[in-house]
């Protein structure tokens, strides 16, 4: 494992004749991130793991301030992997000015996360485009937990006609079904107990979808979450997000949820 804070120095260590994969992360690594690294290593000769908390994708300054950070633990988790290069830059190595570009992702950028986190996808697309431009990887790996983000990045690549394959990888969960997230560490023991109800609700909703309308299912989900001490529903949708972008092919409906567990915001989804 080699660690760089300078993209110019990192570029000197890359063999441009080999297959290069990239796993963009914001650190606070967990088994979900490590599964992406393993997949990337299986597919490529060299893998870049970026660890950078990107300020432009946070629409809430308090959320940015609270986001968990521990670069020493992150590097320890990556230490056993061979053939990986870690990019852990400062803001100045990434941005000339701390601003995001203004992209048009059609309706895909306006629903769900786009609605509740204005500017978020512009920030995500800005940093991802920067990483792709810097390192010109052949393959890039993203988790399906952030499914709308995954589609945004696929749309970005097609929109800009970039020669990069975007690979979505399955959501990794704990033994109780809770989707792994860096934000899980911000929750108390009681809050984690409530958070583990989210996955159960998604699978109940999937069974109900045969006989009930989306609105009826949403009310049931909201009623259950409101009965818990720490939960508040933000949105619940059953939709095929591919239909919201001219750059994407519809690939089937999924169930999406976003909710607050105390002061921690969690999202999850499963296919129908």
Q: Which residues are catalytic?
A: 33
Residue among 180, 178, 153 at smallest CA distance from 33 = 180
Question: 103, 242 in Cβ contact below 8 A?
Answer: no
Alpha-carbon gap, residue 153 to 157, rounded angstroms: 6
Distance CA 32, CA 216 (A): 32
Closest CA to 147 of 211, 237, 79, 12: 237
Helices 197-208 and 214-227: angle between axes, nearest 10 degrees: 160
The residue among 21, 169, 154 whose CA lies nearest residue 87 is: 21
140 neighbors 153 (Cβ within 8 angstroms) = yes
Largest CA distance in the chain: 58
Sign of CA dihedral 36, 109, 100, 54: negative
Q: Measured on CA atoms in the order 111, 112, 114, 118, is the torsion positive or negative? A: positive
């Amino acid at each position: 494992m080699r660690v760089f804070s300078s993209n110019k120095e990192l570029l000197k260590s890359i063999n441009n004749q080999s297959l290069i994969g990239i796993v963009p992360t914001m650190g606070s690594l967990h088994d979900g991130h490590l599964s992406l690294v393993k997949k990337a290593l299986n597919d490529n000769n060299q893998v870049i793991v970026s660890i950078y908390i990107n300020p432009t994708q946070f629409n809430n300054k308090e959320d940015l301030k609270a986001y968990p950070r521990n670069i020493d633990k992150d590097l320890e988790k990556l230490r056993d992997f061979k053939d990986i290069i870690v990019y852990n830059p400062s803001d100045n190595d990434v941005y000339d000015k701390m601003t995001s570009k203004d992209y048009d992702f059609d309706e895909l950028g306006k629903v769900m996360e786009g609605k509740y986190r204005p500017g978020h996808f512009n920030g995500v697309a800005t940093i991802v485009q920067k990483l792709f431009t810097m390192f010109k990887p052949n393959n890039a790996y993203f988790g399906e937990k952030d499914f709308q983000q995954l589609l945004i990045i696929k749309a970005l690549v097609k929109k800009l006609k970039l020669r990069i394959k975007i690979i979505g990888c399955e959501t990794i969960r704990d033994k109780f079904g809770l989707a792994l997230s860096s934000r899980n560490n911000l929750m108390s023991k009681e809050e984690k107990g409530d958070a583990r109800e989210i996955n159960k609700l998604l699978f109940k909703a999937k069974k109900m979808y045969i006989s009930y309308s989306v609105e009826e299912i949403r009310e049931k989900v909201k009623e259950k979450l409101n009965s818990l001490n720490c939960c508040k529903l933000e949105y619940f949708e059953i939709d095929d997000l591919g239909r919201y972008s001219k750059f994407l092919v519809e690939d089937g409906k999924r169930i999406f949820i976003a909710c607050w567990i105390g002061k921690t915001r969690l999202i999850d989804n499963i296919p129908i």
